[in-house]
Amino acid sequence: MGESRFPGMRSRRLRLELVTLFFAKEILVGPAIFSLAPQIGHEMPYVITEACKNTKDRACVDVCPVDCIYEGPDQLYIHPDECIDCGACEPECPVTAIFPEEDVPANLKEYVQINREVFKSPTPPGRPNR
Ligand code: SF4
Ligand code: SF4
């Protein structure tokens, strides 16, 4: 029988298959991880929501250490690529408009997307008027 004449064949073949699978995973999954990395980095750390619209007092702007809060005609927005997730702005907001993305209330979730998309528009928010 083949298996008795070549007793090491199956384990060698198994090792070869495992090595092949390993390198296939490195080739296929590795680039997938790298391609996800920018998306992970571009997650919305903090989000400004609806309550800013009638306030816009820019208290958050004054404490942001990296100047990543910009002003649109209706409200202020946090740039998702520039925010360092420090949380300094959140307690400064007098109307509780700022949340970490994961804490945005369900009825305001649309603002996660709004904050992200507004910077891709032809007329993105600009430096706040002080
Ligand atoms: S979390 Fe920090 S870096 Fe991000 S907008 Fe607020 S103050 Fe600026
Ligand atoms: S502190 Fe709050 S209300 Fe004031 S500008 Fe910033 S997000 Fe808007």
DSSP letters spanning 1-47: -HHHHSTTHHHHHHHHHHHHHHHHHHHHHHHHHHHHHHHHHTS-SEE
65 and 91 in a single domain? The answer is yes
pLDDT tens-digit map of 34-63: 334 334 445 789 999 999 998 999 999 999
Q: Residue 23 has what pLDDT?
A: 45
- Give the number of the ligand closest to the Cα of residue 130: 2
23 and 71 in a single domain? The answer is no
Is 114 part of any domain?
A: yes
If you measure from the C-alpha of residue 14 to the centroid of ligand 1, how many angstroms do you get, rounded to a whole number?
Answer: 52
Q: Residue 118 has what pLDDT?
A: 97
* Nearest CA owner, ligand 1 atom 7: 64
114 and 64 in a single domain? The answer is yes
If you measure from the C-alpha of residue 44 to the centroid of ligand 2, how many angstroms do you get, rounded to a whole number?
Answer: 17
To test the ligand 2 pocket, which listed residue (56, 64, 90, 127) has its Cβ within 8 A of the most ligand atoms? 56
Is 125 part of any domain?
A: no
Spans of the chain, pLDDT less than 50: 1-4, 9, 14-15, 18-41
Q: Residue 91 has what pLDDT?
A: 98
75 and 115 in a single domain? The answer is yes
* Nearest CA owner, ligand 2 atom 8: 52
Tokens found for residue 5: 């004449």
Q: Residue 54 has what pLDDT?
A: 87
Is 97 part of any domain?
A: yes
Domain range for 98: 46-120
Domain CATH number, residue 68: 3.30.70.20
- Contact assessment for residue 97 and residue 56, using Cβ atoms and an 8 Å cutoff: no
Q: How many domains does the chain have?
A: 2
Q: Residue 44 has what pLDDT?
A: 80
Strands 76-78 and 98-100: unpaired
Q: Residue 12 has what pLDDT?
A: 52
60 and 103 in a single domain? The answer is yes
Is 129 part of any domain?
A: no
71 and 89 in a single domain? The answer is yes
65 and 13 in a single domain? The answer is no
50 and 110 in a single domain? The answer is yes
Q: Is the pTM of this model over 0.85?
A: no
